[in-house]
Amino acid sequence: MNLESRALLLQEAGLIVVAEAWSGQVPAPMEAWRLIIGGEVTPTAVVPTLDGIDQWDEVEAVWDSVARDSGIFGGRNEFLISVAGPGAADAPWAHVRRDSRPKLAHLSFSSVEEPEFVAMSLDGRCVCGVTAEEYAVWVVARSFE
């Protein structure tokens, strides 16, 4: 996925894209992903996935709550985001602002048709990610401190 396509998806999710390619002094997106998907990771919250049931509103609410409690959103509701999918490993952070309550969990960024993304605070300290596991969606909050 190129940066323009990613920006369009993020806008569709209800985010304002401040910068498609942010290069501030924070850990790289793949460093944040490793915190979220590492083998020793314990989820902060779990939303079970059940066949035939739309759980994305619940995933969205849980992610929003965990991200807010973790300090992801700055005073202007701005944060950095990396989304899963082709090219994600090499893509820089996107700098985004919440205009309202976004619908990130409703969009599929990857080929497996499930939302997976990592958000980071602008100061690079706090990370909160959403990953699809076999029978659940995990929301994981970590920090670089």
Give residue 106's pLDDT band: very low, low, confident or very high (50, 70, 90).
low
Q: What is the structure's pLDDT at 75?
A: 84
Two tokens, residue 76: 């202007």
Kindly indicate the confidence band of residue 57, based on its pLDDT and cuts at 50, 70 and 90.
Answer: confident
* One-letter-per-residue 3-state SS of 103-121: CHHHCCCCCCCCCCEEEEC
Range of the domain at 86: 3-143
Quote the CA–CA distance of 64 and 11 in Å, as a whole number: 17
- Kindly write down the DSSP assignment for every residue of 61-100, as one continuous string: HHHHHHHHHHT-S-TTSEEEEEE-STTGGGPPEEEEEESS
| 111 to 108, 126, 130, 137: CA distances (angstroms) | 8, 27, 15, 16
pLDDT of residue 108: 58
pLDDT average, residue stretch 134-144: 91
pLDDT for the residue numbered 90: 86
pTM of this prediction? 0.90
CA dist., res. 94 & res. 52, Å (int): 32
Query: What integer is the mean pLDDT of 109-116?
Result: 61
The model's pLDDT over 19-35, given as tens digits with 9 standing for 90+, comes to 888 878 899 999 999 99
- What is the average pLDDT value for the chain, to the nearest integer? 87
Give me the phi and psi of 119, to 5 degrees please: -115, 150
Q: Between 64 and 88, name the one with better pLDDT.
A: 64
The domain total for the chain is: 1
Q: Residue 86 has what pLDDT?
A: 81
Per residue, the 3-state secondary structure of 17-29, as one string, reads EEEEEECCCCCCH
Over residues 95-112, mean pLDDT: 71
Band the pLDDT of 67: cuts 50, 70, 90: very high
At residue 111, does pLDDT exceed 60? no
Give the pair of three-digit tokens for residue 78.
């701005």
